[in-house]
Amino acid sequence: MTRYESKTTFWDGTLAGTSIITITGKLGSSGKPTVTKYRSEAAAKQVYDELVLARTKNSFTLVAAAPVVVTRYFTQADKFWEITLDGATIVTRSGKLGATGQTKRSELASPPDALAKYNKAIGEKIGKGYLERGSGASIVDARNPALEQAIASDPYEPTAYSVLGDWLQDQGDPRGELIALQLAKQYVPALELVAQHAAALLGPLAEHVKCYDGLYHKPALDAFTWKLGFIHAARMSYNQYWNNEFKGDLAQVLELLLRHPSGRFLTELTLMYNDDPADGDLQSLIDVLAKHAPRSLRKLVLGDDVDQISWYRVGNLSKLWKAVPALSVLEVEAGSFTLGKIDLPRLRRAVFKTGGLSAESGTAIATARWPELEYLDLYFGDEDYGGECSVEHVQPLLDRTDLKSLRHLGLTNAMFADDLCAALPGATILKQLRELDLSGGLMTDHGARTLAANRAAFAHLERLDVSDNYLSKAALKTVKGIAKKVVADDQKDDEGDPEMRWVSVGE
């Protein structure tokens, strides 16, 4: 990597075969990475030299390049030892296989001094009988900061992975070959390669490749989904009633994943069951994620098709938001959770499914900072299961003018659905919506008549959903044509007794 800086900005350039990776931005920022491929190595080098020359002519100064980071992993019996060289810094981690281990950090006077100590430490471990994991590969985990930043900025885009794969193969890292196989859609050989190099690609994660629950799935679901050489998605779940053989700590497994080289670009994470003896919620997993969330994380699901939702608890999420600034999808399904002050600048989709939304959570959602939000679904729930919200808690959301991208709004599963029908016609946010979902609640003919009386306010909607409520046949005729498409299926029957009405998701 070559780095040039002006008084206010920087330019990082890396030539990698037929590709050029550049990162540009203001000093102090992480910058914006770009990966460009050329028809040949000669063409790439010519453009790269021109880019460097342009920097020298525009008041930029050459500064020291970031060092390549190298990690090697060794085991002996039931112990492991890992060492990372990063410029003049050495970090070692050691402990029992399957555990997080203890970490030590040493700062040396210079990179050459660190390299000498690094090689000496490896020699001592080999002399004591430690074996390197990775089928004899001399480097188990090679690091390229520029390419890693390019991937983290857009983990769904394959170009940077392709360039990294070529580079990793030159370093002797099996992930390079795995990237090439998966890019070529050679899925069976890719699985065989993972099995062949399990020591390097999984290490202590090898015993955790299946989820520790069997509530709905037998055999158990895979815990890890590989894509483009790395673990792209993970599902962490342990239910002692369906698997009593696992005696470990799921939070430790998650930490191992987030620290492991193969989990470096984890993009999607689902947290399901966590039979923590103390609490039985997801708090220990959330705490680990708050400390070690990868920059590539884009989708987080808490609760996955939960059974008996009122019994299911997530925990306190308030310390998590700072750790996942690039999150684009958030789905929470639980009987209870604490949200705190939500600040997710790149979130596009949010779903909060519960049988009892607290007033505190309702306010947190209504006032959250998520300027790019496009899709929002709220389930309010039943007061018998902790539902505390009323239309007053929703009003701040209805009055917002800063959610310019919001097109879908779901205000569902509400006991106060008729009150929502009265508040919506004058709502500021209604004008920009394309879809409005009012399903699953206690909407009655009164609410339907309110909607119909203000049909002009809803005429622009492409879809209005009033299904799964308590509308009579006469009311269904009333709401017909209010929007371009009105969905009104599966109306519930209270048999003429208002006491027999319930929201669709409660217990």
State which CATH number among 3.30.70.141, 3.20.20.70, 1.20.950.20, 2.20.140.10 fits the domain covering 70-132.
Answer: 2.20.140.10
**What pLDDT is stored for residue 134 in this prediction?**
46
CATH 2.20.140.10 in the chain: give the residue spans: 2-63, 70-132
What's the CATH code, domain 2-63? 2.20.140.10
Pairing of β 131-132 and β 70-76: antiparallel
Residues forming CATH 3.80.10.10 domain(s) in the chain: 348-507
CA dist 345 to 160, 326, 342, 399, Å? 24, 7, 9, 20
- Residue 149 parent element (H or E): helix 145-153
Q: Which residue from 446, 436, 432 is spatially nearest to 412, judged by alpha carbons?
A: 436
Residue 418 identity (one-letter amino acid): D
Give which of 29, 32, 10, 13 is closest to 21, Cα–Cα: 13
DSSP state for residue 118 in the 8-state scheme:
H
Which pLDDT tens digits describe the chain residue by residue (507 residues)?
677 888 888 888 877 777 788 888 888 776 777 888 888 888 888 888 888 888 877 778 887 654 556 677 788 888 889 888 887 889 999 988 777 789 999 998 877 678 778 878 877 887 787 776 643 333 356 778 888 888 999 999 998 898 899 888 887 788 999 999 999 999 889 989 988 888 778 877 888 888 888 766 667 788 999 999 999 999 999 887 777 777 778 888 998 899 888 999 999 999 998 875 445 789 999 999 999 999 999 999 999 888 788 888 899 999 999 999 999 999 999 998 999 999 999 999 999 999 999 999 999 999 999 999 999 999 999 999 989 999 999 999 999 999 999 999 999 999 999 999 999 999 999 999 999 999 999 999 999 999 999 999 999 999 999 999 999 999 999 999 999 999 999 999 888 888 888 998 877
Q: What is the DSSP string of 387-434?
A: ----HHHHHHHHT----TT--EEEEEEETTHHHHHHHGGG-GGGGG-S
pLDDT score at 69: 63
- Residue type, position 285, single letter: L
| Alpha-carbon span 73 to 71, nearest angstrom | 7
Output the six-digit token pair for 17: 């075969």
Alpha carbon 225 to its chain's center: 14
pLDDT given at position 135: 33
Q: Which of 467, 460, 364, 489 is nearest to 412 (CA)?
A: 467
What pLDDT score was predicted for residue 277? 45
Beta bridge partners of 299: 268, 329
3-state secondary structure of 313: strand
Give the domain 348-507 fold.
3.80.10
Length of the chain: 507
The residue behind tokens 């471990």 is 125
Q: Record the tokens describing residue 51, joined without a space.
A: 């880019």
